[in-house]
Structure 1
Amino acid sequence: MKSSGQFVEVVFPIPQRRYFTYEVPGDIDFDIYPGQRVVAPLRNSPTVGFIVNVNSTKPDGIKIKPIIEIIDPTPIFPAELFSFLKKLSNYYLTYPGKVLHIAIPAEYQLQKRRRICITGSSENEIPEFYRPLYDKISKKGDVLLSSLKRYFDTPYIKKGVVLLKKRGLITEYPTFQKRRQKGTVQKIIRLSQKFSESEIEINKLSKKAPRQWEIINVLRNSNGVLKGEKVNRFSQSALLSLIKKNFISINKVDTTIDDLWREYNIKQKDVTLNSDQESTFNKIKDSIVSEKFSSFLLQGLTGSGKTEVYIKLIKEVLMSGKSAIVLVPEITLTTHLAGRFHGEFRDRIAIWHSYLSRTQRNVVWRSILKGDYPVVIGARSAIFLPIPNLGLIIVDEEQESSYKQKGMDPRYHARDAALLRGKESNATVVLGSATPSLESQYNAAIGKLIKVELPRRHSKVPSPIIHVVDLKEEYKKAGDYNNPFSSFLLEKIKEKVDKGQQVLLLQNRRGYSNVVLCASCGWVPSCRNCDISLTYHKKTSVMMCHYCNHIERPPSVCPKCDGTKFLYPGFGTQKAESVLRENFPEFTISRLDLDTTPKKDYLQSIMRKFEKNEIQILLGTQMIAKGLDFPNVSLVGVLNADIGLYMPDFRARERVFQLLYQVAGRSGRGDIQGEVVIQTFNQQDFTVRCAIQQNLAKFSNFELNERNPTNYPPFSRLALILISDLSRDRASEVAEKVVNFLRRRKGSMELLGPASAPLSRIKNRYRFLVIIKSRKDKDPNGTLLRKLLR
C-alpha cells in the first residue's frame, strides 16, 4: 500500500478516552480534516470513528494500521462545533467518541452490514442440502447477508453460512452503508411562464380538453400553485398533455419541515418594547455587535416580556448574518413558543425535540447543516446542532433540571454546554428566567455573568392575588383526608369557568394514588425490581413502578393477612382528574403528564384546544408550570405545594420554590387580574412562605447562607460516583475500595460515603453513592477535582 505520509488520530463511540493512530493510504483523493468519519480496524473489526487530529509525523514505537475508508469527503461538523464537542468531553470527563456520536442523528449514522462472497473452492465440497444457498451466493458473486432472507428462512441461512465458511467456500466481511435519506415528498404543480402568453390557445381547451381546462382553472384559483393530495386527484394523461404544451410544470419537493409547522398555531404579535425591555435589549445588542463572547443573566418577572426581548435579539443577529439557538427545557414550552417564533421568522426557523420522528430529525439536521435555517428552537440536545455562524444562544428557564442529561452517556447540563459553545463561537449567551438558579445568581454576583433585569410585568394588569389554604384545617373540617380539592378551590374553579375564563391546576405527581394500602395490616405492594412502592393507575387498573416500568394488577387479597379491603391514600393527577369530573361533569377537562404525552400528537392537540378555549380546565404536572402564555387563564391552583419539599436533595427547596413561583405566573397574563390558590400542609415553612410572597431575593439569600458552610454549590463543585451491582455485597465492597482509593488522594476535598442511595435498589441493582465536594475558592477551575477523577 502506498502511503500518503499522513497519520490521523481517531476516536470511536466506545467507553474509552484514548485516541487511536492510523495511517492514511496514498490512494485517498481528497483532503483529510478533523471531523470526518472513517472506517478503521478496531480490535480487528472494522468500526466507524471520527478523525480528531491530522499529523505528518509517524509516532515511534507502535505498529500502525491503515484506515479502511474515509466516509465523508468534508467534515460533518462546522469547525467551532467540533472544537466545542471535544472541549465538552474534557469538561465532563466523558468519552469523546460518544460525545461526537450523539451530535449526529441516528438516520445520518452508518449501518454495519454483513456481506458474503464466494472464495472459489471445489464444487464437490458443497453439501447438497446447502447447494441452493451456495448457488444463490455464487450467482450474485457478492451479497448482503440480509438479502438472502428473501429466498430462505433464517435458521437455514445461519447454519448454512457457518458450514460453508468452515469449509472455506465463502468468506464474510463487514461493510457500512448510509441509511436511506427519507423525507416527505410531495408533487407540486405550477403554471408556467408560457401560460400567461397563450390565453387564446388555453381557451380552446374548454371544449377540446375539459379535463385539462379543469386543471388550469383550479390552478388559476390557487395562485398558480397546487401541491399534495390536490395534485393526485387529476388525470395523469391530462397533466402530461399540459406538460408537453409547456403550460404547467410538476416537481417533487421535500416538505418534511413544512409539515412540522402544521402542528402549531402560528400567530404574530405587533409588540412595542417598554423602557425596561428596550434597555435590556440595548445592553445585550452591544455584545452581539462586538462579535465577542459575553454571557448575560436576564432575570424578569413572570409576564415581564422576556420572549419579546428574545425575538428582537434574534432579529438583530439575523441582520448581522449570524444565526441563533433557543433552548427550552420542556416539550410543552417548545410546542407553545414554536408557533410564536415561527410567526416571526417563518421559513428561517427549524424546531428540534424528542417528539420528531427519525426521518424528521434527519431532514432537519441536514437542512441546518446546509444553513437553510439560521434560527433553531429546541430542547437540550439542540445545543449540538451544526448551525453555522452562531451569534446568539438563548437558554430560557435556565434553572430547569430537565436541561441535565441523566442516566446515559454523555452526561451534561445544556446550560453549561451553551456557555461553553458560546465561548468557542464568540457568541452572546443569554440565560433567562423569572427564578434563576442559585448558581447563576451567584455567578452574576461575582461578575461571571452580566445581570440585566425586567422588574415589571409587560401588561398593566396587577400581579395575581394569592390565596393560601391550610390543608390540615381543611381536612379536619371536611373529615375527608383523601380529597385533592379544598372547598375554597372548588368554588373558585366554578366561579372562573362560569365567567368564561380558564383554569390551570398543578399536581406534581402522576398516577391515581401514591400507594395501595391494606386496610387491615398496612401492607403496601412494592416493586419486585426496585425498593419503592408501586403507584396505582386507575384508568388502566394497574400498579406501576415509575423507575423500571414494572406493572402488576392490584391485589384482591393481602398476602400478609388475607385482608380483602384496600385503601388508596394520597393522590396523583389521575385521581385529581377523577374528582374534578365528579364535581364538574359539565366542564371540559384535560390532563397533561407523562402518562398522556407519549401519545402521538396528544400534546399539540391539547395545547391547540386550550388556546382556542375549547378546554376549560387543564390539569397537569410541572409540564404546565413554566413558560405557557394563555391570556384567558385567570386561576391557577396548586393542589399540594409540599410535594418534593423533603426530598433527600440539597436542591429540593430551591426546586419547590421555583415551581410555585413559576406556576403562579401563569395566571392573569391577559386583561384580567389572575388569582392563585396554593394548598399546603406547611404554610409556615420558609420556602412556601417565600413562594407565596413571590420574594425571590429573600429565599435566595437564606438558601445561599445555608449552603456556604456545608460546602454545597454554588460554593463548591460536586462529583457523584454511583456504584451498582446485582449483588449488594459486591456493590458495597467496590464502594469501599473506591473510597479508600480517593481518601489517599483527595487533598483538601471533602469525601462523603459510601452510603446506600436514597433509592437503594433500581432494576434489581443495588446502589451505593460516593460524593466529592471541591471548594471553588481552593480549586477555582476544577483542575484538582478533574485530576482526581481521571
Structure 2
Amino acid sequence: MYARVAFPTALPDALSYGVPEALDGLAVPGVRVRVRLRGQVRVGVVVELVEEPGVPAEKVRLLEEVLDPEPLVPAHVLELIRFAADYYAAPIGTVVRSAFPGALLRVPPPLVQVGPRARELAEEGSPAERRLLERLLEARRITVARLRTEGWTHAQLSELLPALESRHALKVVERGAGRPPGATVSAVLLAELPPEERARRVGNAPAQVRVVTWLADLGRPVLEGELVAACGCSPGVVAGLVRKGVVQRFRQDRHRDVKRWELTPPPPPTELTEHQSRALAVALDALGKGEFKAFLLEGVTGSGKTEVYLRLVAAAAARGLQGIVLVPEIALTPALAGQLAQHFGERVAVLHSSMAEGERVAAWGRARRGEVDVVAGPRSALWAPLHRLGVIVVDEEQDASYKQEEEPRYHARDLALALGQRCRVPVMLASATPSLEVLALAEQGRVQVLDLPERVAGGRLPEVEVVDLKGEPPEPGEHGQRFLSRRLCELLQQTVARGEQAILLVNRRGWAPVLLCRDCGHQATCHNCSIPLTVHRRQSALMCHYCGFRREIPQACPRCGGEVLDHVGAGTEKIATRVRELLPGTVVDILDRDTARSPAQLLTTLERFSVGASQVLVGTQMVSKGHHFPAVTLTGVVNADNLLGFPDFRGAERTFHMLTQVAGRAGRGERPGTVVIQTYHPDHYALRAALTHDVKGFAEEELRYRKAFRYPPATRLALVRFEAANENAAVAAAQAAARAIEPVPPGMRVVGPAPAPLARLRGKWRVHLLLLAPSRPPLREALTAISAVTVPRTVHRVIDVDPQSTV
C-alpha cells in the first residue's frame, strides 16, 4: 500500500510513499505525515491511498510518522481539493496550502543542543569544531536556521553536525510540526503520591511547601504562570518540584479569544416581506429534502437578501447542520460577523488571510471540532472543515474577488456549487447584479431564480443622475479635467447641511495616478512594471501598486531637469482633500487598501461612519457593496470611465456591477437617495442600464457582444501566460506552447501568442495565449498538451482556467 502525499508547494503532483506495517491503518487520507523530501524533514497531507506507486518501488521512501490520530478534514474537503487541482490544472500541493492553515504544514528548523562531551571536544576538536561548540555552549541550544544566518554554510553544517553528534558533543533534535509560535502553554499538576511520601520529598523548603499546599487545595491542573503568580514564587521552585517528582509538567493548548471584528448590525426585521417569505420557503424545501439545489437570490439593493440567507442558515443550524457564508472581500466581514453574532452568538467562526496565524488556527480548530454553526469569510472560508455541512451561501456572487489570482487559481463561487453537489446541500448565490455566467446557468435551468424585486419597508431605489464631464469647466491646474462636477458639489453641500451622509467612489487610491513633467512629457514609471507610479502624498512617495516599488517624489524631472511636475488625475487622497476644501469642518474618511491594512483599521473607519462621526466616506470599490448605512442619501461616482477603458472583455460588466452596487448604498433608510455618476461617455449601454437599474437589459446587450466575439459565457476560456526576466525567453516558450496544440481542434480559437496588456510586471515580461472552446473537453485536451511541453527554468508558466481578467 502506498500513500500519495501532497506538500504545500508547487510540486506538479502528489508523491508516493510506502506505508510501513506499523503505520498501516493510521496513514489514511486527510492525516498529516512526516517524511523525507530531498533529504529534509517535511510535513505533507495524505490525499489518497493507491496500490501502485507510479515509480519503481526501490525509489519509494517510507513514511516516518503519522501526526494525527484521525483525518484533519472531512472526506468532502479532500474530494474538493482533488477536484480543484484537476479542474484548474493546479499543483495539488498549492490547493492543500489554501485549504489548511499554514502553521499545520510547517516543520520548525532542527534544534541543536549541548551534549555531555561538548566542553571536552571544544578544547580538543578541529578549529571548525571548536568554533561551533563554543557558540553552542554560549547559547545552550540554537536552531540550524540561526546558525545559517550567522555564516555557517549548508556544507559545513552537513559535515560538522553528524560528526559531533556521533561523538556525543551535541544533539540535533527534529521538532514536531503543526504548532504556531505560542500555540501551547506549560501547565502542572500534582503527581499521584501518598501524602507522607510527598511531604518527605518536599522537605522543609518553604516555597515548595507553599506551592504543594496551594495545588492540593485547588485539586486540578493549573497553568504554570498562574501558579507562579498565585504563590509568589519563581519558576525555579516549580522546576525543583518537577525534579523531585512531586509535580508533573505538561503542555496544553493555549486558549485564544479570537476577535471577529464585528460591526454592530441594525435590528433584524420581525417579519419578512411576501417576496422574502416565498424565496425562503423554496430554499427551506430543498434543505428539508437533503438535496443539492442551486439558487440565485436576485434582488435589488436593499431588498433584504441577507435576512433571507441568514434565516436559511439558522434553519440548517436548528437541524443540527452547519453553514458556510462567503463574502467577496475581507472588508465585508465585520458587517457579516455582526449579523451572524446577532443570530448565532458565539457559535460563529470567521476565517480570512488577514487574521493572525494563531487566531486562524484557533478558529479553524473550532470549526473542525464542531463548536460553530456557521463559518464566514472570503473565498478561503470555503475550505472550512465542517463535518455536518448543510448549506452554502455565496453573497455578491458576481464579484471578481472570488477568483484567486495566484496558484491555485480557483473560483470560490464555482467550487461552492461543486461542493454543494458533492455534499447534496443547497447553495444560495445572492446578488443584485448577477454575473453573466450565473444568468446563463439560470437560462439552462441549472440554477433556480428567487426574485426580490422591491426594497424592504417600502423603500424606493435612489434617483440616478448622469453628469457629462465634457460640459464641465476644468479645475485649475488639472489639465482640463474636473473631478467634482458642479452638480455633485451642490448635492454634497445640501446633504451635509441636512445632517446626512455621502459616499464617493474613486477607483484609484493615492493622490494621483501619474506624475508628469510639463516640460518634456516624461512620466515616472515603475522600474519593474510597465505602468506609471502612483503619487502618494501622505507617504511622500511614488509607489507601484503591483510590485510595491517605491521612491521619493522628485523635485525635478530626472530626464530634463524641469521643475514643473504635475500630479495628473485623482485618487482617494486628492478627492478627500477637495471635499474638505468644499465643506470646511466636515469629517471626511478614506476607505481603501492603504487605510484598512488591518481588521482593526477597517473596523474603526466603518464604525466611525456608521455612528455618524464622519459625514463623507471616500473610497475604492471597498465602499461599493455590502454595506448598510441608513443615513447615506448621496453616492457619487467620480469617474465611471476607469473600468470601461480597461483592456479586458469584462470591462463593461464590471462597470455596470460597480455602478449599480454603489448606487444601492444610497437611500437605504427612511430618506430617499440620489446617485450622481460622472462620465465622459454618458451614452454607453452599461451606464444607461445602471441609470435605470436594468439588469436584464444590460445582460441582453452584453451577451450579444460576448456571442459575437465568442467570449464567456458563450464559450469556455483558458489563459496560458509565460513570464520571464528575458522577453525573448517568454516569447519562445509561448510559441512552443502554440505549436503543441497544432492543428487547432475544430471549433477552438487561439488568440496569440501576444504580449499581455500589462507587458511587464514585477520584473517579468509576460506573453500569453487565450484558448476559447465551445466546451470543456477540447480545452482540457489543449491544456494537457501545453502542460507536457517542458519550459526552461527561467520561464514561469501560468495556466488560468475560467480567468476573470485577461490583463
Q: 2:27 maps to what in 1? A: 32
2:457 pairs with 1:459: yes
> How does 1:230-241 map onto structure 2 within 5 Å?
none
CA distance in 1, matches of 2:87, 2:323: 23
2:91 pairs with 1:95: yes
**Could you say if the C-alpha distance between residues 605 and 139 of structure 1 is closer, same or farther in structure 2, counting changes exceeding 3 Å?**
closer
Please give the secondary structure, in 2, of the residue aligned with 1:332. helix
Please give the secondary structure, in 1, of the residue aligned with 2:502. strand
User: Which sits farther off after the overlay, 170-179 or 90-99?
Assistant: 170-179
Q: 1:249 maps to what in 2? A: none
Q: 1:731 maps to what in 2? A: 730
- Asked whether the 8 Å contact 1:333–1:628 carries over to 2, the reply is yes
**Could you say if the C-alpha distance between residues 70 and 584 of structure 1 is closer, same or farther in structure 2, counting changes exceeding 3 Å?**
same
- Asked whether the 8 Å contact 1:133–1:160 carries over to 2, the reply is no
**Could you say if the C-alpha distance between residues 505 and 186 of structure 1 is closer, same or farther in structure 2, counting changes exceeding 3 Å?**
farther
- Asked whether the 8 Å contact 1:112–1:177 carries over to 2, the reply is yes
> How does 1:176-255 map onto structure 2 within 5 Å?
176-180=176-180, 182=182
Which blocks of at least 5 consecutive residues in structure 2 are unaligned?
188-225, 233-251, 788-807
Output one character per residue of 1:117-141: Cα deviation in whole Å (capped at 9) or x when no partner.
879999697226744744897999x
CA distance in 2, matches of 1:157, 1:768: 38
Residue 562 of structure 1, CA deviation: 2.9
Q: 2:441 maps to what in 1? A: 443
Residue 235 of structure 1, CA deviation: 8.9
Letter in 1 for 2:285: D
- Asked whether the 8 Å contact 1:113–1:177 carries over to 2, the reply is no
CA distance in 2, matches of 1:758, 1:767: 9
Please give the secondary structure, in 1, of the residue aligned with 2:298. strand
Q: 1:164 maps to what in 2? A: 160
- Asked whether the 8 Å contact 2:472–2:482 carries over to 1, the reply is no
Output one character per residue of 1:132-151: Cα deviation in whole Å (capped at 9) or x when no partner.
744897999x96645987xx
> How does 1:592-607 map onto structure 2 within 5 Å?
592-599=591-598, 601-607=600-606
Output one character per residue of 1:32-86: Cα deviation in whole Å (capped at 9) or x when no partner.
3111111223344433222222356788953233211111121111111111111
CA distance in 2, matches of 1:143, 1:377: 42
- Asked whether the 8 Å contact 1:264–1:335 carries over to 2, the reply is yes
Residue 155 of structure 1, CA deviation: 4.0
Residue 732 of structure 1, CA deviation: 1.4
**Could you say if the C-alpha distance between residues 322 and 17 of structure 1 is closer, same or farther in structure 2, counting changes exceeding 3 Å?**
same
Letter in 2 for 1:426: R
**Could you say if the C-alpha distance between residues 716 and 547 of structure 1 is closer, same or farther in structure 2, counting changes exceeding 3 Å?**
same
2:566 pairs with 1:576: no
Q: 1:198 maps to what in 2? A: none
**Could you say if the C-alpha distance between residues 510 and 374 of structure 1 is closer, same or farther in structure 2, counting changes exceeding 3 Å?**
same
Q: 1:48 maps to what in 2? A: 43
Letter in 2 for 1:425: C
Q: 1:352 maps to what in 2? A: 351
From 93, 101, 107, the equivalent of 1:105 is 101
CA distance in 1, matches of 2:185, 2:638: 48
2:509 pairs with 1:514: no
- Asked whether the 8 Å contact 2:43–2:177 carries over to 1, the reply is no
Please give the secondary structure, in 1, of the residue aligned with 2:107. strand
CA distance in 2, matches of 1:24, 1:525: 59
Which blocks of at least 5 consecutive residues in structure 1 are unaligned?
1-5, 188-230, 238-251
> How does 1:529-568 map onto structure 2 within 5 Å?
529-568=528-567
- Give the TM-score normalised by the residue count of structure 1: 0.85
Output one character per residue of 1:353-397: Cα deviation in whole Å (capped at 9) or x when no partner.
232111110110111100001201101110011112111110000
CA distance in 1, matches of 2:599, 2:177: 30
CA distance in 2, matches of 1:153, 1:400: 44
> How does 1:620-631 map onto structure 2 within 5 Å?
620-631=619-630
- Asked whether the 8 Å contact 1:374–1:387 carries over to 2, the reply is no
CA-based RMSD of the aligned residues comes to 3.3
Q: 1:765 maps to what in 2? A: 764
CA distance in 2, matches of 1:612, 1:622: 21
- Asked whether the 8 Å contact 2:26–2:66 carries over to 1, the reply is no
**Could you say if the C-alpha distance between residues 62 and 29 of structure 1 is closer, same or farther in structure 2, counting changes exceeding 3 Å?**
closer
Please give the secondary structure, in 1, of the residue aligned with 2:47. strand
Q: 2:244 maps to what in 1? A: none
- Asked whether the 8 Å contact 1:133–1:157 carries over to 2, the reply is no
Output one character per residue of 1:490-541: Cα deviation in whole Å (capped at 9) or x when no partner.
1111111111111111111111112111122222111111111111111222
User: Which sits farther off after the overlay, 294-303 or 744-753?
Assistant: 744-753
CA distance in 2, matches of 1:434, 1:789: 39
- Asked whether the 8 Å contact 1:324–1:376 carries over to 2, the reply is yes
**Could you say if the C-alpha distance between residues 469 and 186 of structure 1 is closer, same or farther in structure 2, counting changes exceeding 3 Å?**
farther
Residue 287 of structure 1, CA deviation: 0.9
Output one character per residue of 1:259-311: Cα deviation in whole Å (capped at 9) or x when no partner.
51464325542431111011111111111111111111111110110011011
User: Which sits farther off after the overlay, 166-175 or 266-275?
Assistant: 166-175
- Asked whether the 8 Å contact 1:752–1:770 carries over to 2, the reply is yes
- Give the TM-score normalised by the residue count of structure 2: 0.83
Residue 635 of structure 1, CA deviation: 0.7
2:427 pairs with 1:432: no
- Asked whether the 8 Å contact 2:635–2:675 carries over to 1, the reply is yes
- Asked whether the 8 Å contact 1:323–1:389 carries over to 2, the reply is yes
Q: 1:215 maps to what in 2? A: none
Q: 1:225 maps to what in 2? A: none
2:334 pairs with 1:335: yes
Q: Name the % identity.
A: 33
CA distance in 1, matches of 2:449, 2:567: 48
**Could you say if the C-alpha distance between residues 781 and 632 of structure 1 is closer, same or farther in structure 2, counting changes exceeding 3 Å?**
farther
Please give the secondary structure, in 2, of the residue aligned with 1:770. strand
Please give the secondary structure, in 2, of the residue aligned with 1:333. helix
Residue 576 of structure 1, CA deviation: 0.2
CA distance in 2, matches of 1:751, 1:128: 64
- Asked whether the 8 Å contact 2:516–2:568 carries over to 1, the reply is yes
- Asked whether the 8 Å contact 2:261–2:599 carries over to 1, the reply is no
> How does 1:387-406 map onto structure 2 within 5 Å?
387-406=386-405
CA distance in 1, matches of 2:104, 2:661: 39
Q: 2:221 maps to what in 1? A: none
CA distance in 1, matches of 2:53, 2:652: 57
> How does 1:677-692 map onto structure 2 within 5 Å?
677-692=676-691
2:303 pairs with 1:308: no
Please give the secondary structure, in 1, of the residue aligned with 2:595. coil
- Asked whether the 8 Å contact 1:113–1:176 carries over to 2, the reply is no
CA distance in 2, matches of 1:712, 1:459: 40
CA distance in 1, matches of 2:539, 2:371: 45
CA distance in 1, matches of 2:568, 2:764: 29
- Asked whether the 8 Å contact 1:268–1:344 carries over to 2, the reply is no
2:714 pairs with 1:719: no
- Asked whether the 8 Å contact 1:507–1:640 carries over to 2, the reply is yes
State how many pairs are aligned.
720
- Asked whether the 8 Å contact 2:462–2:663 carries over to 1, the reply is yes
2:80 pairs with 1:81: no
Letter in 2 for 1:94: A
Residue 627 of structure 1, CA deviation: 1.0
From 114, 129, 138, the equivalent of 2:110 is 114
CA distance in 1, matches of 2:550, 2:492: 35
Please give the secondary structure, in 2, of the residue aligned with 1:529. coil
User: Which sits farther off after the overlay, 63-72 or 389-398?
Assistant: 63-72
- Asked whether the 8 Å contact 2:771–2:779 carries over to 1, the reply is no
CA distance in 2, matches of 1:59, 1:467: 65
**Could you say if the C-alpha distance between residues 455 and 338 of structure 1 is closer, same or farther in structure 2, counting changes exceeding 3 Å?**
same
CA distance in 1, matches of 2:663, 2:149: 62
Letter in 1 for 2:103: E
**Could you say if the C-alpha distance between residues 396 and 265 of structure 1 is closer, same or farther in structure 2, counting changes exceeding 3 Å?**
same
Q: 2:67 maps to what in 1? A: 71
- Asked whether the 8 Å contact 2:280–2:308 carries over to 1, the reply is yes
CA distance in 2, matches of 1:615, 1:139: 57
